[in-house]
Amino acid sequence: MNKTQRDNFFETIVFKNANRKINFLLTQRLLPALLLSCALLFISLFSLLFSSEVKAEIHWLQPPVVKSSALNNQQDKNKSKESAYKKLSAKEQISPKQLLTRPEIAQYAQGFIDQLFWAKSQQSLQDQHILFQRKINGVPVFGQQLTISYQKDNQQLVKVFENLQNQPEDNSIVAKITAEQALQLAWQRRKVTGDLYGKPQQTLVWLSRAKKLKLAWLVQLDVYQPFGHWSWFIDANNGQTLKVMRREISHIGLAKSDRNKPQVSLSNALEKFSKKQKIEQVKHSQNVALSVDQVQVAGSAQVFDPDPRTTLNSNALTDTSSAGAFTGAYQNVSLPDVSYSGSVYHLSGPWVNVTDFDPPHTTPTTSNSGSWNFQRGQLGFNDAMTYFHLDKNQRYIQSLGFSGSNGIQQGAIAADSNGADGADNSYFSGSYNRLSFGHGCVDDNEDADVILHEYGHAINHNINSQWQGGDTGAMGEGFGDYWAASYSYSTPNGASYQPFKVFTWDAADGCWAGRRLDKTSARYNPAVSYTAHSRQNGFVSDELWSTPLFQALVELIDQGQTRQEVDKIILEAQFGLGANLTMRQMAESIVLTARRLYPAGPHAAVFQQQFIHHEILSDEQGLALELLATRDSGNDGYADPGDLLTMTVRLRNQYLDSLPASSLAVSASVLQVQNQLQIPELASYTSADMELQVQVSETMACGMQDQIRLQGNYQIGGENLPVDLIIPILLGEPAYETTSRSLNFTIPDNRSQVEALTINIAADAASVVDEYFQLAVNIRHSYIGDIQMELVSPAGTRVRLKNRSADNQDDLRGSYPADFTPVDSFSAFYGEPMNGTWTLEIADRAAADKGVLENFSLRWSEGYICGEHTPLVVPGKVTTGGGSLHWGWLALLGAVFIRRLLPA
């Protein structure tokens, strides 16, 4: 296959590269496998060039240890005047915009300063946070922000968060599609069959797609059928759908909506919604008038706290148990600050407003005595449960210090205690700051775990309104599970009755399985973006995050620390961040926050060990090396023989302790390199960027490898730590082969039996599956959530591609693992022969919506190709610690014959 054939081929094939960067740490134990298969060395760098999701970065600026007394509003009068840590002078009157020009901040905003505009300021226990939104020509860039955090008491800079990415703008800078046309397109494609939930909003934004910024209309379309609060991105140039997101968040996962009902017209829906708004405005005016005479008084109620099974320490209770079986589970509690007006008490207070906004529409209960003395099965009981637990939890948050200017969700959140259209599910809507609780099976709000889990989403959203992308789906669910379990663990019997199960009562009696907080076998894979509720190998993505949090809580309480301390750390760590966060970044924030809040305590070490156990943080205690960018002396974007390459590398300290300034000797076999690399002092989880000069030899042949070696020593606590980092370099680009099969196969609807479709591969006898291997599919389907798929290799190895889900989207077009993350990792295939019969097993697991598998293809690599301009395939991350040698590799994966280096 010549160059022209290759380029033409990749203009038509749907294969794309993996859309996220992977870093593997390969120790000497893995060296035999390393030698057996060169393919195991190469992980995705191409993602940095063509991923749609912008990578987030947290730049820790050597935060000093903060004495715990400072958290009690006591001034730390012994601040070090010799701290190398950058300060903002208390006398300095500096605008937010001027902050961006300070050298220690400007380095992270370089090239973007004129596009960053102040959005909001926020306070947490320790710090002040200033958020800047990126805008181009006044139009916001979706999901791209920069946040500066500095200490409130001494104005020392703590961190800079940014997810800015220098991308070319699409040709069109003027919207050719109007806002009204974009709304109509979203309405038609959503196939709306019900009423509007809220007024549609259309906002012009720049959206990152395929490493370009496209002008798009962000259409917020919130409807009852198919239910969802949808963010629909419509290309402002041609009207194509670029992206679809759901903004409401549920504790189980969203059920499939019936899209086979007759569609309603947008004009009729808008007219109906307008009439509804006028009625609601009248009601609101009446309520405002009544509120003038309202006072807040103490009420009382009968509730479960946290749930009947935990209180009675019994598995015998079920949803159908007799009313008398629950007698001992009821507890009489006070309801602070309920509203009283005209001899009527309402469950409306400073932190909760029990109201009605979701079907089945029922008016919240009131009381003439101030007492809600109801039992399960009565709406008044659900109302009281909702008010009591939300109010109590907000007061608990305030007791941790998060009140006033530091407040979290400090206002009355609207809660429909009989909502969610009666489904066995509940959800939080950040757009409206609402909670809605369903009553399928066990009523959701009979279990405090459900109430507090959903409130956990509200906490996430209030602290970080940019909470989306990256691993935030799983982390949001995992935090909600932790937040619920933290409370339950503090109640009588909470530490003894199923402490590691969430939704102890809601998931009873076979309603659903619930989730666990002891999935200690779950392991983090940085190649995967963990969405909410996604099934992994033996665990749910949510459990990968909740388990280390909760296990740290239990361990610290066993060591004599308190739940309040742990909760305070986890809340404080969420401030000053933004979109596209990974679990690894959030874990580092928690560890460093623990170190700052409780420098003399075991908190940071316990959290760190829990995250290391799950491989969220690396156990390679030492330096991590990452390649950020490369430029060549030819200035043509290519690495040619004879070029002088300037590699920008980042060295990162993964110790809890600081590493002193040092130098590393640099050497190579064929490449010519500088002799030394000077390393500055690095505090825990901080990094330094520096340049490394590399001369490519004229004699390097295609596919030839060399390695750059960095060596030195650290003295840590009297112990010698040798550093020996190896950066392999490979000249060339992978040569790809592909085999496709066109089918137009109608997938049988609503079948448990899978359909086995085969494709025969006749590859080179030496060809084995490596990181370049991809499967591309083109499926036409009106509800892709119905589809389940597996890929089976000639050796019989199975990899689950997709489970049945509540994904309402049409069609599945793209490649695994580039566009879509498989349930199981493709690494299960690595090293197996390509030759033989591969089988794609597919099934449609639900009725009504139907689909067609149009075609599927397999692609693999066979050797390397070098041309006039050839790419330098370079490593990304290398780590060492404890005196052992550890190797990491990063290379181009699945590139569409990309020759470009990372931009400098």
pLDDT average, residue stretch 456-463: 98
| Tokens representing residue 814 in the block | 């793209």
Burial 358-379 (b: 16+ CB within 10 A, else e): bbeeeebbbbeeebbebebeeb
Tokens 């003027």 belong to 174
Residue 310 has pLDDT above 70, yes or no: yes
Determine the pLDDT at residue 256: 52
* DSSP letter for each residue of 382-421: HHHHHHHHHHHHHHHHHHTT--GGG-SS-S-EEEETT-GG
Determine the pLDDT at residue 263: 87
pLDDT tens, residue by residue, 827-870: 999 999 999 999 999 999 888 788 999 999 999 988 777 655 44
Determine the pLDDT at residue 886: 22
Q: Which listed CATH number (3.40.50.300, 3.10.170.10, 3.40.50.2000, 3.30.70.1230) goes with 297-463?
A: 3.10.170.10
Average pLDDT, the chain: 82
Q: How many residues does the chain have?
A: 904
What is the SS3 string spanning 12-23?
HCCCCCCCCCCC
* DSSP letter for each residue of 287-331: HHHHHTT-EEEEEEEEE-SS-HHHHHT-S---TTS-GGGGGGG-E
What is the SS3 string spanning 144-209?
EEEEEEEECCCCEEEEEEECCCCCCECCCCCCCCCHHHHHHHHHHHHCCCCCECCCCEEEEEEEEE
CA 655 to centroid of chain Cα atoms: 25
Determine the pLDDT at residue 253: 57
CATH 1.10.1610.10 fits 466-619, yes or no: no
Residue 29 has pLDDT above 60, yes or no: no
pLDDT average, residue stretch 172-193: 92
CA–CA dist 671, 176 (Å, integer):
52
Determine the pLDDT at residue 866: 65
Determine the pLDDT at residue 180: 97
Query: What are the phi and psi torsion angles at 784 (to 5°)?
Result: -70, -15
**Percent of the chain whose predicted confidence (pLDDT) is above 70:** 83
Determine the pLDDT at residue 32: 29
Residue 718: which residues within 8 A CB-CB, separation 6 or more?
A: none
pTM above 0.85, yes or no: no
Tokens 């760190």 belong to 608
Q: How many alpha carbons fall within 13 Å on the CB side of residue 706? A: 18
Does residue 376 contact residue 327 with C-beta atoms inside 8 Å?
no
Residue 523: which residues within 8 A CB-CB, separation 6 or more?
A: 544, 614, 615
Does residue 418 contact residue 382 with C-beta atoms inside 8 Å?
yes
723 confidence band (pLDDT: 50, 70, 90): confident
CATH 2.40.50.140 fits 26-51+620-732+866-887, yes or no: no
Residue 280: which residues within 8 A CB-CB, separation 6 or more?
A: none
53 confidence band (pLDDT: 50, 70, 90): low
Does residue 432 contact residue 198 with C-beta atoms inside 8 Å?
yes
CA–CA dist 556, 479 (Å, integer):
18
Closest CA to 312 of 331, 335, 336: 331
pLDDT tens, residue by residue, 618-629: 877 678 888 777
pLDDT tens, residue by residue, 754-804: 999 999 998 888 889 988 899 999 999 988 888 999 999 999 999 999 988
Determine the pLDDT at residue 774: 95
pLDDT average, residue stretch 528-553: 93
| Tokens representing residue 66 in the block | 């903060």
Determine the pLDDT at residue 10: 25
CA–CA dist 188, 439 (Å, integer):
31
Determine the pLDDT at residue 172: 67
| Tokens representing residue 888 in the block | 């990491």
CA 339 to centroid of chain Cα atoms: 39
Superfamily for 734-865? Answer: Galactose-binding domain-like (2.60.120.260)
Residue 322 has pLDDT above 60, yes or no: yes
pLDDT average, residue stretch 468-487: 97
Determine the pLDDT at residue 898: 19
Taking the alpha carbons at both ends of the chain, their separation in whole angstroms is 32
Q: What are the distances in angstroms from CA 881 to CA 33, 719, 722?
A: 21, 12, 7
CA–CA dist 757, 856 (Å, integer):
10
Residue 829: which residues within 8 A CB-CB, separation 6 or more?
A: 769, 773, 793, 797, 799
Query: What are the phi and psi torsion angles at 699 (to 5°)?
Result: -90, -5
Does residue 802 contact residue 820 with C-beta atoms inside 8 Å?
yes
Edge to edge, what strands does the sheet with 623-632 contain? 672-673, 687-695, 644-653, 623-632, 877-880
Tokens 């566009």 belong to 819
Determine the pLDDT at residue 65: 44
CA–CA dist 747, 754 (Å, integer):
9
Residue 895 has pLDDT above 60, yes or no: no
Residue 458 has pLDDT above 90, yes or no: yes
Residue 270: which residues within 8 A CB-CB, separation 6 or more?
A: 196, 200
| Tokens representing residue 21 in the block | 């960067």
Does residue 357 contact residue 283 with C-beta atoms inside 8 Å?
no
Tell me the CATH architecture of domain 179-272: Roll (3.10)
Determine the pLDDT at residue 625: 81
Does residue 325 contact residue 370 with C-beta atoms inside 8 Å?
no
901 confidence band (pLDDT: 50, 70, 90): very low
